[in-house]
Amino acid sequence: MGLLWIFASERRMNGKVPSTMARMPSVQSILACGLAILCSGALAGKGQGMSLRLATFNVENLMNRFDFSGYRNQLNEDRTLALFDIRSEAEYKMLEQARAIAQSDDTRQLTALAIAATRADIICMQEVDNIEALKAFEYGYLFKMVGQGYRQKYTTAGNDSRGIDVAVMMRNETAQGQPIEFVRMTSHAYVTYEQFGLHTPELATLGSQANERIFRRDCLEVDITVGGVPLTLYLVHFKSMGSPRNGLDGREATMPVRIAEAQAVRRIMPPTSDGRSVAT
């Protein structure tokens, strides 16, 4: 069976079709993505008769709930509301609802336009609150722009403290008419450093314990078939850069976590075609 590995960088590939790689990805190449779609399957050997367009997009806080924490925590308060003299929590909630609705409408229109431009058969997404938020966005914005909607939608609760995780939307068939069918979905959010032997002194310095979960969101494994051909997607959104600490900038300070996440993705992937484990 042939292999197809597909990557998408959060900084460079939002709203664009990912590039493909014919060989097994290294930990470094996985890590460079920040967020990624990693695919394995038999499509690579099918030639022009089997075409699939994949895209990835960080929808940035696609939520169907309001966040009122800014009333008591100035770090979470929107800068627009900070300009006004708000006398009560009830008044703050009313204004925050109005602000969030107005801003979200503009943001989601732009998000839908970018996703529609990919003309993708499958969209892998990051920072999705829940399936209800995803359904509302797809129907209220994306479907009304592209007509033929993404009827298959899947997500699951991961480890993100804000409750925003990875998700996937799929059409019922590709642009060439090949049926896209869901088989199963497996969350790897529960995997710990200890289970995979990935706890390091650098992680301990950051305060991460061996029994803590590796993925800050999830590594969501989605098995599908395209025209009867099996394909597996691995959806990952690595830990954000964070703020400076211990004399290091945000990127370097959180790098041990992202390295462990990338190594864990390699461990989860199946062996190569010659039987070697990709975790070695």
**Burial of residue 120, with CB atoms counted within 10 A of its CB: 0-12 exposed, 13-18 middle, 19 or more buried:** buried
In a domain, 274, yes or no: no
| Residue 75 in domain | yes
Of the candidates 159, 255, 165, 253, the one whose C-alpha atom is nearest the C-alpha of residue 214 is 159
Number of H helices, E strands in the chain: 8, 10
Question: Does the pLDDT at position 208 exceed 50?
Answer: yes
Residue 277 lies in a domain: no
SS3 241: coil
Residue type, 34: G
Higher pLDDT among residues 261 and 79, named by residue: 261
pLDDT over 70 (residue 202): yes
Q: Which residues pair with 155 in a beta bridge?
A: 167
Mean pLDDT, range 189-218, rounded to an integer: 92
- pLDDT at 8 > cutoff 70: no
Residue 135 falls inside a structural domain = yes
pTM of the model: 0.76
Residue 244 pLDDT > 50, yes or no?
yes
What mean pLDDT is predicted for residues 248-254? 74
Contact 235, 220 (CB under 8 A): yes
Confidence label for 195 from pLDDT (cuts 50, 70 and 90): very high
In a domain, 278, yes or no: no
* Rounded mean pLDDT, 204-233: 92
- Examine residue 273 and state whether it is found in any structural domain, yes or no: no
Q: pLDDT tens across 124-136, in order?
A: 999 998 999 999 9
In 138-190, which ranges are continuous DSSP H helix?
A: 143-146
Beta strands 165-170; 152-155: pairing state: antiparallel
The tally of domains found in the chain comes to 1
User: In this structure, is residue 276 part of a structural domain?
Assistant: no
- The string of pLDDT tens digits covering residues 88-107 is 999 989 988 888 888 888 88
Question: According to the model, what pLDDT value does residue 182 have?
Answer: 96
Q: Higher model confidence: residue 49 or residue 123?
A: 123
Residue 27 domain-assigned?
A: yes
- Range scoring the smallest mean pLDDT among 25-34, 44-53, 140-149: 25-34
More confident of the two residues 151 and 272: 151
Candidates 150, 181, 185, 192; CA nearest to 59 is 150
| pLDDT, mean of residues 234-247 | 79
Q: Mean pLDDT, to the nearest integer, of 59-83?
A: 82
Question: What digits encode the pLDDT tens for the residues 144-159?
Answer: 887 778 999 999 988 8
Give the residue numbers spanning the domain of 76.
5-268
Nearest CA to 132 among 159, 167, 97? 167
Backbone angles phi, psi at 76, to 5 degrees: -100, 0
Distance CA 201, CA 223 (A): 35
For residue 87, what are the CA distances in angstroms to 80, 82, 91, 219? 15, 12, 7, 44
